[in-house]
Amino acid sequence: MTLPLVGVAIFIIAPLWGIYLISKSSVDNVNTVMLRAHQLIFEQLQNVDYFYYGGGGGLAVDVKNQTFCFVKAKSVKDLTYKLVPFNEIKGWQSSQPGRLEYTGFGVNTGIQAEMKNQQEVRKQAFHTGLTVTTNQLDNHQIFIHMPLQKANAWIQLLTKAINSKDLAVSSPPRFFPALES
pLDDT > 90 fraction of the chain, expressed in percent and rounded: 11
The stretch 10-27 carries a mean pLDDT of 59
**The dihedral sign for the CA sequence 151, 155, 157, 158:** positive
Distance of alpha carbon 156 from alpha carbon 159, whole angstroms: 5
Distance of alpha carbon 95 from alpha carbon 159, whole angstroms: 16
The confidence score (pLDDT) of residue 143 equals 86
pLDDT > 70 fraction of the chain, expressed in percent and rounded: 72
67-123 pLDDT per residue, tens: 999 888 777 778 888 899 999 999 888 877 765 565 566 666 777 777 777 777 777
- The predicted model scores a pTM of 0.70
CATH fold of the domain at 33-175: PH-domain like (2.30.29)
Q: Does residue 181 carry a pLDDT above 50?
A: no
Torsions phi, psi for 111 (to 5 deg): -65, -45
Length of the chain: 181
29-54 pLDDT per residue, tens: 777 777 888 888 888 888 899 999 87
The confidence score (pLDDT) of residue 4 equals 64
The confidence score (pLDDT) of residue 153 equals 92
